[in-house]
Structure 1
Amino acid sequence: MWDPNRGIERLAEGTVEHAGVVLVSVALLSVVFAGGLGLVDQEAGTDQFTEEVPAMDAMERIDEEFAGDVGDSDTSAQLLVEADNVVARPTLLRLLETQRRLEDDGTLRIGETTSHADRIAAELDPDAETPTDRRRAIQEATDSELATAIEAADDDRFAEAVSTDYNPTTQRASTALVTVEYDVPESVSTSRLQTLQADSAAAIEGVQGNEIGENAYLFGEGILQTEITALLTDTAIVVFPAALGLILLFLLIAYRDPIDLLVGLSALLLTLVWTFGFMGYAGIPFSDAIVSVFPLLLAVGIDFGIHAINRYREARLGEASVDEAMARSMGQLGTAFLIVTVTTVCSFAANLTSPLGALQEFGIVAAVGMTFTFVLFVVYLPAAKVTVDRLRERLPVPAFGTTPIISEGSQLARGLAGGVSISRRAPVVFLVVVLLATGVAGAYGSGVDTEFSEEAFFPSETWIDRYDRLPEPFAPSQYTFIETIDILEDEFDQPTGGGVTIYIDQPVRRDDSLERIDRLGRNPPDSFAETSAGRADTESILTVIERQRAADPAFDRLVAQHDRLGTGVPDRDIEEIYAALDDSQRASEADRYLAENRESARVEIAVEPDADTASVVEDAQYVADRTPLSAVATGDRVVQQEVIDATLDSAVRGLVVAFVLTTVVLVGSYRLLEGRAVYGLLNLVPVLVTVGLLLASMRLLGIPLTPINAPILSISIGLGVDYTVHFVHRFVDEYETQETLAALSATVAGAGGALTGSMITTVAGIGVLGIALIPLIQEFGILIALGIGYAYLSSLLVTPSVIVVWERFGDRLSVPRRG
């Protein structure tokens, strides 16, 4: 029968014996993976999390089937212009000159621009169709004529284009909104849109009086994606050097040997190269969700490296040869590394159960990267280390640190033995207290908030100001989107996320179709804005019909003839009504709400400005469900809420799956490798403590669950297992020749130093993410640092009492001694 322990020992022996072949093979594989680095794309923002959301699918179908889009179109932009008075003649002229520059530049692919200046000019000269004609009309008008035109232009569309501080008496407003529509397909690439909108911003600043970022702000999907990508870049420029510096410092302290440090760093570097290369070949983009993979791999790699070198040095103290010491060390550590790898891969792969594609990609990349980490630190690092040390024995290389981090009986070993002391004096009481505290922490943490919005990716202006103080090349880019969003919300009374849309996914040619659409507005829920008639404030094909009736007596008579019930809604031969609308001046307006083939329709519903998203979405889905039409609620708010729901589902599902898989793997691994399944169960108690404390910390610190940190709960299981497995596995080795408490003391002395060095290095290096520009990455860095800290403390403080209590009240731990 195959003995897995013997298999691991043979792997260690073969690695040492054929170190040169291993190094050449790793070098060749690295060249192959390096070829994938250039294939890695970048993806930022919220789009990466919305692809599988049903409401997003409905939004995309609306974009394809109707003339207008739900919310802000990806192919449109908003230009905000501030001035002392945007309704004064000089600003109106500046706006129209800006519009002329944009529309006349064919390279910008702009189809149309609209502003309140257009409405005013149209009142002065109804035949003025171009920005140039409208500019002339305003320029030549007398003050009295201009004032009269402004008063006449003051309608709903005018109000939407000027800030809410507009005073019709004094005819003053501080901010204007210009809509810019690009003449490009909806499928236009993000990079192309970024280029067009960046060039548009340059054209806007070319008009005298406009200063981008000062009194003029262009806001669109292209600008947004450009600035979010810049956030990632600016974060990397500051965080990566700081993290690298701290990691190097603490690794140098842990290794105390620059040559060993280079060997360990080379293994970490190859882990990143292999993982990035895999992403390129697999077509997985580097996104906000993937950013967190690499700190995790560094954390595990640092841990593996310190343990490997530390155990090797222990073996060398007995005057074993280089080859013998490494083969013996990796034969012992290989089992622990394998268990850690398999359980951590399970905790990462648990994210494949998420309904969000970005989290599934996170699970894939993290699991593959963890596998690469195992291969490189179990095969490459030992081969590189023995090759180096063989050369050192033949060459006059100075000796540096060659002893383990701590030794039994040292002051540091005594300092780390607190958990052993507790297990000697009051293990039962301590364990009961810990389990009760964990239960309370978990219950408290179950109330953690869940959040998802575009704004969650944006830093505060205060945080950007701090970055601004940094010298080049660390100073950040110029960001306008934060101030733009504030202006839109504060000065244009635009509720966050806008209203909601009901997408009617069925033909609307039946005689009662418009009646059914009309009923959607009856008895509106509390979060919906209401008209004076007590109905929901809606925009639909019925709205277009009403406007055409008011403007065209012949159309009004036609509708009346097709209204058998006298409700004002056509309910007979409605195709004739549609045909009449197609022939009217409102044909383009009708195309916003009725598909050309009459196979679908849409209804836009306004909501109360202070209504919370959860209530709005619940009410929208209720309205969609109660109608006999085949309807789907959609819009930015609905997509946001569905992602929040999917995030919570991902976190809970990932936690459950990771725990179940980890339990199975631990029990099975210890049964197969050590002959006792109970060792796997002993590992789980400290892991549960880590999860409970981390969840409680999230709520206490006000860190919500987001699509970026949703994997943290399943990851915390992997982090906890990493530290606990090293402790338990070392204990099993020591327990072969010593009694329980003595074996625990030896374990702390042997593994405690490596665990401490690994913890300090990774907490310091990954904790630097807490200064990142992007709040979501800040929070993830804090959570990972906390998770590693809790896993370390749990392994050293809780595990000894778990072992002692099990020995005292459960099955005896003794196993047949391996000769």
Structure 2
Amino acid sequence: MTVAGLIAAWVEGVRRRPWLVVSVALVLTAVSLWLAVTRIGVSTDTSAMLDPDLPFQRQDRALKAAFPQLGGELAVVIDARTGAQAEAAAADLATALAPRADLFAAVEDLAGDPFFRRNGLLFLDLDTLYDLSDTLAEAQPFLGALWPDPSLRGLAGLMDTAADALAGGDAAPSLAPGGGLALGPVLDRMATVAEARLEGDAAARLDWQALMRGRATPDPSDARRIVLAKPTLDLEALSPAGAAMTAVRATAQDLGLTPDAGVTVRLTGAAAMETEELKSVQTGMDVAGAITFVAVVSLLIIGLRSPRLILATVATLVVGLCWTAGLAAVTVGTLNMISVAFAVLFIGLSVDFGIHVALRYREGRDRGADNAAALAEAARGVGPALVLCAVAAAIAFLSFLPTDYRGLAQLGLISGMGMGVAFVANLTLPPAILALLPARPGGGGRDGAARALVGRIEAGARARARAVALGALVLAVGAAALVPAARFDFDPLNLRDPDTESVATVLDLLDDPQVTPYTLDVLAADLDAAEALADRMAALPEVAGAITARDLVPAEQEEKLFVIGDMALFLGASLAQDTRAPPDVPALRAAAVTLGEALARLAGAPGADSETRAAADRFAAVLARADQADALAGVDRALTADLPPVLDRLRDSLTAGPVTLADLPASLRDRYLAPDGRARVEARSALDVRDPDQLARFVDAVRAEVPEATGSPVLIRESGRTVLRAFAEAAALALLGITVLLAVTLRRVRDVLLVYAPLTLAALLTVATAAVLGLPFNFANVIVLPLLFGLGVASAIHLVKRERDETTVADAMASSTPRAVVFSALTTIGSFGSIAASSHPGTASMGVLLTIAIGLTLVCTLGVLPALLALWPSRKGISKAGR
């Protein structure tokens, strides 16, 4: 018995026992739903997306086994109005989070560690330390006046002293070497802060740390601190670091670290980005699924125009999706970030089978056939083509199984099984439903417009067959010339939603040249071996520097300690005075009067420059507006709140002593020295690693010298190579498998070539379009071309087989098959197009390229294939036409 006969016999058996079929289908659906709900999980472990036995994967695991604190961290980025405020916020947050051992394996505020409070000046380069010493020497009058009384009262006394100096002809004190930050800019900054406070900005405050560094306004990086937290991840949950992230945000809120208070707390790091990426993917898939279902049902209403046919097709779609989910639960169990898209893909592809069955069935009914005959005709007419289409699509999906791209292989496995489910379901459930609810004949008469459009396309293609074929050839050559311009984006950061907090924050951090997540790491046997490796890597022009644990120990300590000791001599007396109690309201009022008088004297002093005079007048005018006790207290806090912590840290830094490797904080030292004595070398790039080409140069240069180098640049580079290799292997396997399938089933070289001709053109045009539009291929959308072979052949197979069954090309194009091709492609485009609406760039890019590919396939199939069929008709068509 032929394939068509077997399918017809199956459909006839279904037609005779519709209630049994429907009952069994409902039971299978219920079981599948139960399996899907109880067994399907989602893994967020991105390292499992590629074969774990790949060399670079093993090297990365070895590094993380030696240094488990590396990777998977939450970086809590704290931005405040001033450096002192950021420092206090970081310390408070780290102190509050550290006891949460259920959520965090470790919480580190390195910059706030007592070691760095005491020895931080040793980590400055020598020239910067000398500059700071000169600045503090010139600022000593300020410090001497403010240390014992860090309030508006102390500030008034300081300005009174400055006014006396100017009145006596002396120079006004400055806060930078050579008067780089003179009194005028300081007064102007004070006026700005006081004015902001009076106008309702409760978080306004003067950054004394910036003033001491010779800057009137703080640099954003000076008012930023980063707390590193190692969360306990639940990789079986859709939000692996969700509980830890929620705890950070809630703790920050409880501590008053809010924008209203002048503090912004943001989360980034690998853990945060992966968690938010999964949320983005889930939201995108939920939205895409809803859009897909609505789009598909709408197109079915337009294309089928029969409530019973629509019911049969939609019911089959829902049942088939449940069966596929049940199979996924049994065979896979845990989905990944790519395989979660199987539902949308199934909807878009399964409905194609249903459309061909429904329109072929209706074609028979419209010709007057009874229900049984129409079902049998549909089974015999489209059954063999559906077999080919299902197997071809399954081959395309399953072609990723032998590759190292495990994430896409999982999607391929589920979707490949889904094609089998779609085939069986669409030749089982619709016949059962239509046996119970036969569609009424006559609906086809309303398809005149669609038939006329397809007829005009076919007639035009046949009438100008040679011109169309030549034009297609020219297009193919032009597209092939553009193929080399297509590019692959290796950077996974570009696949993430830039509007999520974690990605937006890391992009902000990357603007700071001192921050880079793209460093290479090498695991050495011991510290001496690490030193040798660091020297070899540092000699490469692509490497800006390579450091080991020994490089963490400050250099030139003897001279630096001499400078710090000198600073302690001229500042020690000022910072050793007893502090006065904070002023009460009457004392504040008196201080405001004194400060106002001092500012008036500064503005009129003969030795004052124009900038100082203008700033003193402005400050005095602003101060005069603080006539209420609350307003005056607010101005006092705004101007002096940072003084005590800044002066305390300055005093602590003057007690620095010699530092050895053993003196470093364990949390820092242990990032470079493992407990077993192995050592890590960290290399920074001299190139722009956000540029894929320069990142590749950096990685290739270092790994040529040190093949065992790992780190994020290596993972990006080698993962990209692995995915490209997987893509090439999958495309070759899909092409080979589908070619063998077509050769065995169609048994004519002519038919195989006709099936591939529009598909090849569509593939070239797809890559060329991506190149022209600047749409890079990436880890998510590389599935497009292998799938194009599997999905694109479907339309051509249906048309070629229909042409073989009919007398002429015109008869084939006048049948229901071209309309089924059109509506099938439109439903697929509607399905894949919905993925393009995802906020996740990787998922969206897959939808965009799939939509382009399927759209071009439809155009090439309907625009080029009829011309090729006319130029190269089948023998059957020739003999029948000649009678």
TM-score (norm 2): 0.72
**Which residue number in structure 2 is paired with residue 114 of structure 1?**
109
Rounded to whole Å, the distance in 1 between the matches of 2:433 and 2:515 is: 61
TM-aligned CA deviation for residue 405 of structure 1: 7.0
**Which residue number in structure 1 is paired with residue 536 of structure 2?**
520
Letter in 1 for 2:93: T
* Per-residue deviation, residues 718-757 of structure 1 (Å, max 9, x unmatched): 22111111111111111xxx2x3xx434434331222222
Q: Secondary structure at the match of 2:77?
A: strand
**Which residue number in structure 2 is paired with residue 533 of structure 1?**
none
Does 1:168 find its partner at 2:213?
yes
Q: Secondary structure at the match of 2:511?
A: helix
Does 1:12 find its partner at 2:6?
no
* Per-residue deviation, residues 176-202 of structure 1 (Å, max 9, x unmatched): 223233385999988563212321221
Structure 2 gaps, min length 5 = 122-142, 151-174, 177-206, 560-659
TM-aligned CA deviation for residue 707 of structure 1: 1.4
**The structure with more radius of gyration:** 2
Larger RCO of the pair (alpha carbons < 8 Å, separation 6+): 2
**Which residue number in structure 2 is paired with residue 182 of structure 1?**
230
Rounded to whole Å, the distance in 1 between the matches of 2:58 and 2:323 is: 35
Rounded to whole Å, the distance in 2 between the matches of 1:721 and 1:333 is: 15
Does 1:801 find its partner at 2:846?
no
Rounded to whole Å, the distance in 2 between the matches of 1:433 and 1:166 is: 71
TM-aligned CA deviation for residue 545 of structure 1: 8.2
Letter in 2 for 1:368: M
**Which residue number in structure 1 is paired with residue 248 of structure 2?**
200
Do 2:102 and 2:232's aligned partners in 1 also have CA atoms closer than 8 Å? no
**Which residue number in structure 1 is paired with residue 522 of structure 2?**
502
Change beyond 3 A, Cα 1:166–1:95: farther
Q: Percent identity?
A: 19
Question: 2:548 is matched with which residue: 520, 540, 546?
Answer: 540
Does 1:80 find its partner at 2:77?
yes
TM-aligned CA deviation for residue 375 of structure 1: 0.8
TM-aligned CA deviation for residue 121 of structure 1: 7.8
Q: Secondary structure at the match of 1:305?
A: helix
Q: Secondary structure at the match of 2:821?
A: helix
Q: Secondary structure at the match of 2:762?
A: helix
Q: Map of 1:220-231 to 2, 5 A cutoff?
A: 220-231=269-280
Q: Secondary structure at the match of 1:773?
A: coil
Does 1:699 find its partner at 2:720?
no
Rounded to whole Å, the distance in 2 between the matches of 1:165 and 1:284 is: 56
Q: Secondary structure at the match of 1:502?
A: strand
Q: Return 182-191 or 484-493, whichever deviates more.
A: 182-191
Does 1:484 find its partner at 2:505?
yes
Letter in 2 for 1:240: G
Rounded to whole Å, the distance in 2 between the matches of 1:43 and 1:433 is: 48
Letter in 1 for 2:547: E
Do 2:22 and 2:429's aligned partners in 1 also have CA atoms closer than 8 Å? yes
Does 1:49 find its partner at 2:59?
no
TM-aligned CA deviation for residue 550 of structure 1: 8.4
Q: Secondary structure at the match of 1:771?
A: coil
**Which residue number in structure 1 is paired with residue 490 of structure 2?**
452
Does 1:441 find its partner at 2:479?
yes
Rounded to whole Å, the distance in 2 between the matches of 1:185 and 1:253 is: 48
**Which residue number in structure 2 is paired with residue 689 of structure 1?**
761
Change beyond 3 A, Cα 1:801–1:102: same
TM-aligned CA deviation for residue 276 of structure 1: 1.7
Do 1:50 and 1:639's aligned partners in 2 also have CA atoms closer than 8 Å? no
Do 2:107 and 2:228's aligned partners in 1 also have CA atoms closer than 8 Å? yes
Do 2:90 and 2:109's aligned partners in 1 also have CA atoms closer than 8 Å? no
**Which residue number in structure 1 is paired with residue 29 of structure 2?**
30
**Which residue number in structure 2 is paired with residue 726 of structure 1?**
798
**Which residue number in structure 2 is paired with residue 360 of structure 1?**
409
Rounded to whole Å, the distance in 2 between the matches of 1:312 and 1:188 is: 46
Change beyond 3 A, Cα 1:411–1:116: closer
Question: 2:702 is matched with which residue: 597, 602, 623?
Answer: 623
TM-aligned CA deviation for residue 450 of structure 1: 0.8
* Per-residue deviation, residues 587-627 of structure 1 (Å, max 9, x unmatched): 776654444445x5431111126243443444444434435
Change beyond 3 A, Cα 1:703–1:720: same
Does 1:62 find its partner at 2:58?
no
TM-aligned CA deviation for residue 691 of structure 1: 0.9
TM-aligned CA deviation for residue 269 of structure 1: 0.9
Rounded to whole Å, the distance in 2 between the matches of 1:142 and 1:283 is: 72
Change beyond 3 A, Cα 1:691–1:166: farther
Do 2:106 and 2:230's aligned partners in 1 also have CA atoms closer than 8 Å? yes
Question: 1:603 is matched with which residue: 681, 704, 707?
Answer: 681
Change beyond 3 A, Cα 1:785–1:406: farther
**Which residue number in structure 2 is paired with residue 414 of structure 1?**
452
Q: Map of 1:127-526 to 2, 5 A cutoff?
A: 144=147, 168-170=213-215, 172-174=218-220, 175-182=223-230, 193-211=241-259, 215-389=264-438, 402-404=442-444, 410-461=448-499, 479-491=500-512, 493-495=514-516, 497-504=517-524, 507-508=525-526, 513=529, 516-521=532-537, 523-525=539-541
Letter in 2 for 1:782: V
Do 1:719 and 1:787's aligned partners in 2 also have CA atoms closer than 8 Å? no
Letter in 2 for 1:37: A
Change beyond 3 A, Cα 1:66–1:169: same
Do 1:422 and 1:430's aligned partners in 2 also have CA atoms closer than 8 Å? no
Do 1:197 and 1:222's aligned partners in 2 also have CA atoms closer than 8 Å? no
Do 2:530 and 2:681's aligned partners in 1 also have CA atoms closer than 8 Å? no
Do 2:278 and 2:337's aligned partners in 1 also have CA atoms closer than 8 Å? no
Change beyond 3 A, Cα 1:124–1:301: closer
Change beyond 3 A, Cα 1:97–1:245: same
Rounded to whole Å, the distance in 2 between the matches of 1:192 and 1:654 is: 31
* Per-residue deviation, residues 601-654 of structure 1 (Å, max 9, x unmatched): 431111126243443444444434435xxx412111111111222222222322
Could you say what the CA RMSD is over the residues aligned between the two structures, in angstroms? 3.9
**Which residue number in structure 2 is paired with residue 40 of structure 1?**
40
Do 2:754 and 2:869's aligned partners in 1 also have CA atoms closer than 8 Å? yes
TM-aligned CA deviation for residue 377 of structure 1: 0.7
Question: 2:828 is matched with which residue: 751, 758, 762?
Answer: 762
Q: Secondary structure at the match of 2:21?
A: helix
Change beyond 3 A, Cα 1:345–1:166: farther
Do 1:308 and 1:330's aligned partners in 2 also have CA atoms closer than 8 Å? yes
TM-aligned CA deviation for residue 335 of structure 1: 0.4
**Which residue number in structure 2 is paired with residue 94 of structure 1?**
89
* Per-residue deviation, residues 129-151 of structure 1 (Å, max 9, x unmatched): xxxxxxxxxxx99955999xx99
Change beyond 3 A, Cα 1:702–1:68: same
Change beyond 3 A, Cα 1:624–1:768: closer
Change beyond 3 A, Cα 1:481–1:413: same
TM-aligned CA deviation for residue 312 of structure 1: 0.9
Letter in 2 for 1:500: L
Letter in 2 for 1:521: M
Q: Return 92-101 or 253-262, whichever deviates more.
A: 92-101
TM-aligned CA deviation for residue 712 of structure 1: 0.2
Rounded to whole Å, the distance in 1 between the matches of 2:822 and 2:266 is: 50
Q: Return 542-551 or 211-220, whichever deviates more.
A: 542-551
Q: Return 718-727 or 103-112, whichever deviates more.
A: 103-112
Change beyond 3 A, Cα 1:723–1:97: same
Rounded to whole Å, the distance in 1 between the matches of 2:286 and 2:344 is: 15
Letter in 1 for 2:82: N
Rounded to whole Å, the distance in 2 between the matches of 1:683 and 1:255 is: 26
* Per-residue deviation, residues 200-238 of structure 1 (Å, max 9, x unmatched): 221122112435997111224443333223323432454
* Per-residue deviation, residues 44-85 of structure 1 (Å, max 9, x unmatched): 58545355453343222111113652xxx21x3222222221
Letter in 2 for 1:626: E
Rounded to whole Å, the distance in 1 between the matches of 2:350 and 2:233 is: 46
- Report how many aligned residue pairs link the two structures: 700
Rounded to whole Å, the distance in 2 between the matches of 1:297 and 1:500 is: 41
**Which residue number in structure 1 is paired with residue 98 of structure 2?**
103
Do 1:669 and 1:677's aligned partners in 2 also have CA atoms closer than 8 Å? no
**Which residue number in structure 2 is paired with residue 753 of structure 1?**
819
